[in-house]
Amino acid sequence: MEQATLQTPLGMATILGDRNGIRAIRVTDHSEGEDSIPPALAEACGQLREYFNGERTVFDLPLAPEGTDFQQTVWQALLGIPYGKTISYMDLAKQLGDPAAIRAVAAANGKNPLWIVIPCHRVIGSDGSLTGYAGGIHRKKWLLNHESANPQQSLF
């Protein structure tokens, strides 16, 4: 497994993977310097930079997240949420064929190891609230605003 770090507007991203695919992307508030980028992770780092620069709306990377069959099913469904759009946890559970599985869908969403690339930040509460996000609600809000056609401007 190879590793690269990349400074983003939301903190330091650590990308883990190899020639078979990207396994995990994590973000922390730490701001250590960027490492040299292994060739197997160069494309992922480049695409993440393009995303943050507003030049990319879809990722085209080999993905290899580790999870249960159910988690894999949920993560695959997340890939179908278009850039700039959101879906509720309930709608996602219904899309997967079992509205009663809303809590399991939410739990699988929270276990997504591929921050941004598998867009779990695009899932919101049925009332439009920004419920739960492993990377922190401030990051979820930033990502949704970044992807919005009409980003909110801060007055302060």
Query: Between 129 and 72, whose confidence is greater?
Result: 72
CA neighbor of 52 nearest in space, from 154, 147, 122: 147
**End-to-end Cα spacing for the chain:** 43
Condensed to tens digits (0 to 9), the pLDDT of residues 2-47 reads 999 999 999 999 999 998 999 999 998 876 666 789 999 999 999 9
Q: Domains in the chain, ordered, with CATH?
A: 2-52 (3.30.160), 69-147 (1.10.10.10)
Give dist(CA 22, CA 48) in Å, integer.
Answer: 12
63, 74, 120, 123: the active-site residue: 120
What does the pLDDT read at residue 149? 79
Name the token pair of 86: 């959101």
120 is catalytic: yes
CB 97 within 8 A of CB 105: no
Q: How confident is the model at residue 93 (pLDDT cuts 50, 70, 90)?
A: very high
- Number of Cβ atoms within 10 Å of the Cβ of 55: 9
pLDDT at 155: 41
The CA distance from 9 to 58, in Å, is 18
